[in-house]
Every structure is written in structure tokens, then in C-alpha cells.
């Protein structure tokens, strides 16, 4: 059996990195896999959230995913907190994972920053919840951006440790699927930093709600160096901003970096940036329009998420029943 699970946080407007690193691949995988896609609101509250904004972002993220082409009839789309097995299994995994394993997680170090003592316990335990998200469905494949690779390795470690503790090959070891030409889209302001929803600069990212003017302005303002583009990919070495823009172009146009450089090698950014903006607008504008249609009907979004949650629950509940028995918990869960 091949089952996909992947999630996305409702922590603000989705950006081009989320689209190219995750959602574009989610859409393609629908043809070949049973797919479960989740708006991970339990993950979102690992950092402070305004409750009204969280509800709004949950609907917005669901609308973006639907607008990008997720079919809620063939795939399952829901928000995490509606299915209690995620939190229940995360607790069990908190009692399997070791402090030493979590201490190695680079995302916690980056997000906690210098004020580590003030970070929530939830932010620290984020990877055990992510392991629970995936393994509550015994998912076999997990499409993610490159930034989540380490968490996926931890998920495999947890699955293996659980299987060893309880003497059974209960969980599959899920495979990361790091797909596409832009597995790590970088900030438009700094070619060494990941494009991220939480970057304070609006100009660091293109969001799924940006209109054509905003996309053009942000790309024109993107940081670059004064050299023209090289004709070969080797020439992008040591030029992180140029590499990022060329990779974004290749991912959007669904061609190779070599193809992009064959066309634009020798040209300056004065020519390349408007061309990139046109490709981005052509790709994103129809999605943004469709997203706005969904956003005008929040009840429809809520109904899709509820239906998805019921179907997700129907898969997770019996698996959780088996986990409870293996663990030695008396009685059935009410959740």
C-alpha cells in the first residue's frame, strides 16, 4: 500500500516556497497515491497565535491548496485539530523519542533563536507531533521541502524505536519525497535564508495572495549581484541570489536550470527579472483568483475540512486502537 501524508501550517499567507516545495507536488501525487493532506493547526500554536487570525489562516491555507488543484473528493483535506489521534499519538511518541534526538533538530534552534528558555515545550516537541501526523495513518511517503528532511529522519527513528520496543514491525518507515526543481526556495532578500512566512520583510517572499503588480515589484527589488547570468549551471556557484532566481524560474516553467541559462545566459537581471515575474504571474494568478472564489464561501471550506476530518478519523482510529493495545492501555479511547 502506498499512502501519502503531508501538512502545512496555517501561520500566514502561503508563499512561493510552500507552493514549489510542497503544494505543486501534492497536486501531482494525487494521481498515483492515496493522499492525506493536513492544515496543521496544532503545529501552528507552537508559537503564539491570535485565535481569530488562526481560524482565518486555516481557511486561507485550505483555499490555496484547493485552488492549486487538490481534489477534496479523491484526496483527504482537513485541519489537524479535528482528529484527536494526532495529539494522542504525539504523547506516546514523546515517551519514545529521546532528548538527545530532539536536541539535534536544527529547526528548533533556528526558531527558538537566542531566547531558547522562552520557547514553548510544544516548539521543542514539534517533530514528535509531526511523526504522529504521519504514522497515525501508517503513511509510506511524505512529500516535503528540503527543510523538513531532518524531521522525516527523526520520524523514521521513532517508528523504528517503537517497533523495537513492542516487538512488531508495526509502523512502516516513511520515505521523504523531496521533489521538483526548487526544493529549498530562498528569501528574495537573502539568498542564504529560507523563504519563510515568518520573515519580517514582506519583500522576502511572494505570497499566494500577491497580485501581478506586487509580484513584479518584489522580483524587481530582489537582491542580486551585478554580474550577468552565466551560460552554465557551474557559473551559479557562490551566487546564491542568482541561483535562487534561476531555480525559481525553472520550477515555475517546469524546465531545467540548463534550459533557463541557455535562454538567459549573458543577460543581466534587468532582462531576467521581468521575464521571471511574468512566469510567476502566469502560474500564480489563476490560483489566486480561484482562492478568492473559495474565500467568499467559508462554509464550503469548513464543510470540505469536516468531511476530510471524518475520513481521516476513520483511518486513524483503528490504527490508534492497535497502538493502544500494543502499548498496554486498558479500554478503548473515546476520541
Quick check: is 111 catalytic?
yes
Determine if 68 is a binding residue for ligand AQP (CB under 6 A): no
Q: Note if 197 is an active site residue.
A: yes
Residues 14-43 as x/- pattern, contact with ligand AQP by CB under 6 A: ---xx--xx---------------------
Does the footprint of ligand AQP cover residue 63 (CB under 6 A)? no
Among 136, 195, 216, 316, binds ligand AQP (CB under 6 A): 195
Choice from 196, 209, 247, 288 touching ligand AQP (CB under 6 A): 196
> What is the pairing mode between strands 175-177 and 141-143?
parallel
Nearer of residues 140 and 317 to ligand AQP, judged by Cβ = 140
Nearer to ligand AQP, 75 or 183 (CB): 183
- Contact status: 75 vs ligand AQP (CB under 6 A): no
197 binds ligand AQP (CB under 6 A): yes
Among 3, 5, 9, 210, indicate the residue that binds ligand AQP (CB under 6 A).
Answer: 9
Residue 221 among the catalytic residues:
no
Mask 138-157, x = binds ligand AQP (CB under 6 A)? Answer: ------xx-xx---------
Whole-number Å distance between alpha carbons of 62 and 40: 11
Q: Is 185 in the site for ligand AQP (CB under 6 A)?
A: yes
Q: How far is the CB of 165 from ligand AQP (least distance, A)?
A: 28
Q: Is residue 218 at the binding interface for ligand AQP, with CB under 6 A as the rule?
A: no
Q: Which stretch binds ligand AQP (CB under 6 A): 62-70, 188-196, 258-266, 306-314?
A: 188-196
- Looking at 28, 56, 149, 197, which residue is catalytic? 197
| By CB under 6 A, residue 8 contacts ligand AQP | yes
Tell me the three-class secondary structure of the chain, residue by residue: CCEEEEEECCCCCCEHHHHHHHHHHHHHHCCCCEEEEEECHHHHCCCCCCHHHHHHHHHHHHHHHHHHCCCCCCCEEEEHHHCCHHHHHHHHHHCCCCHHHHHCCHHHHHHHCCCHHHCCHHHHHHHHHHHHHHHCCCCCEEECCHHHHHHHHHHHHHHHHHHHHHCCCCCCCCEEECCCCCCCCECCCCCCCECCCCCCCHHHCCECCCCHHHHHHHHHHCCCCCCCCCCCHHHHCCCHHHHHHHHHHHHHHCCCHHHHHHHHCCCCHHHHHHHHHHHHHHHHHHHHHHHHHHHCCHHHHHHHHHHHHHHHHHHHHHHHHHHHHHHCCCCCCCC
CB of residue 166 to ligand AQP, shortest distance in Å: 29
Q: Please work out the total of residues on this chain that contact ligand AQP, with binding judged by CB under 6 A.
A: 20
Nearer to ligand AQP by Cβ, of 28 and 184: the residue is: 184
Region at 280 (left for phi over 0; alpha for psi -120 to 50; beta for the rest) = alpha
* Binding-site ranges for ligand AQP (CB under 6 A): 7-9, 11, 17-18, 21-22, 144-145, 147-148, 183-185, 194-198
- Catalytic residues, by residue number, are 111, 194, 197
Amino acid at each position: 500500500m502506498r499512502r501519502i501524508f503531508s501538512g502545512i501550517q496555517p501561520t500566514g499567507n502561503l508563499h512561493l516556497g510552500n507552493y514549489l516545495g510542497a503544494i505543486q507536488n501534492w497536486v501531482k501525487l494525487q494521481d498515483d497515491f492515496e493522499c492525506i493532506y493536513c492544515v496543521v493547526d496544532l503545529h501552528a500554536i507552537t508559537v503564539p497565535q491570535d485565535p481569530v487570525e488562526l481560524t482565518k489562516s486555516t481557511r486561507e491555507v485550505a483555499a490555496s491548496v484547493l485552488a492549486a488543484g487538490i481534489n477534496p473528493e479523491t484526496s483527504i483535506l482537513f485541519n489537524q485539530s479535528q482528529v484527536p489521534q494526532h495529539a494522542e499519538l504525539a504523547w506516546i511518541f514523546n515517551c519514545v523519542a529521546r532528548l538527545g534526538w530532539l536536541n539535534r533538530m536544527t529547526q528548533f534552534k533556528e526558531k527558538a533563536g537566542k531566547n531558547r528558555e522562552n520557547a514553548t515545550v510544544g516548539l521543542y516537541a514539534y517533530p514528535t507531533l509531526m511523526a504522529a501526523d504521519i504514522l497515525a495513518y501508517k503513511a509510506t511517503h511524505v512529500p516535503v521541502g528540503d527543510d523538513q528532511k531532518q524531521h522525516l529522519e527523526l520520524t523514521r527513528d521513532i517508528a523504528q524505536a517503537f517497533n523495537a520496543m513492542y516487538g512488531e514491525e508495526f509502523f512502516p518507515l516513511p520515505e521523504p519525497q523531496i521533489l521538483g526543481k526548487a526544493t529549498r526556495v530562498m528569501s528574495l532578500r537573502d539568498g542564504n535564508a529560507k523563504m519563510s512566512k515568518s520573515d519580517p520583510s514582506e519583500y522576502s517572499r511572494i505570497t499566494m495572495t500577491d497580485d501581478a503588480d506586487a509580484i513584479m515589484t518584489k522580483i524587481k527589488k530582489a537582491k542580486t549581484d551585478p554580474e550577468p547570468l552565466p551560460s552554465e549551471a557551474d557559473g551559479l556557484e557562490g551566487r546564491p541570489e542568482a541561483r535562487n532566481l534561476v531555480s525559481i524560474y525553472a520550477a515555475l516553467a517546469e524546465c531545467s536550470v540548463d534550459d533557463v541559462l541557455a535562454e538567459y545566459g549573458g543577460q543581466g537581471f534587468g532582462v531576467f527579472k521581468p521575464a521571471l515575474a511574468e512566469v510567476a504571474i502566469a502560474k500564480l494568478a489563476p490560483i489566486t483568483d480561484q482562492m478568492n472564489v473559495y474565500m467568499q464561501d467559508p462554509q464550503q471550506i469548513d464543510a470540505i475540512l469536516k468531511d476530510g476530518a471524518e475520513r481521516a478519523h476513520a483511518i486513524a482510529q483503528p490504527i490508534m486502537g492497535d497502538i493502544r493495545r500494543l502499548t498496554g492501555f486498558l479500554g478503548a479511547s473515546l476520541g
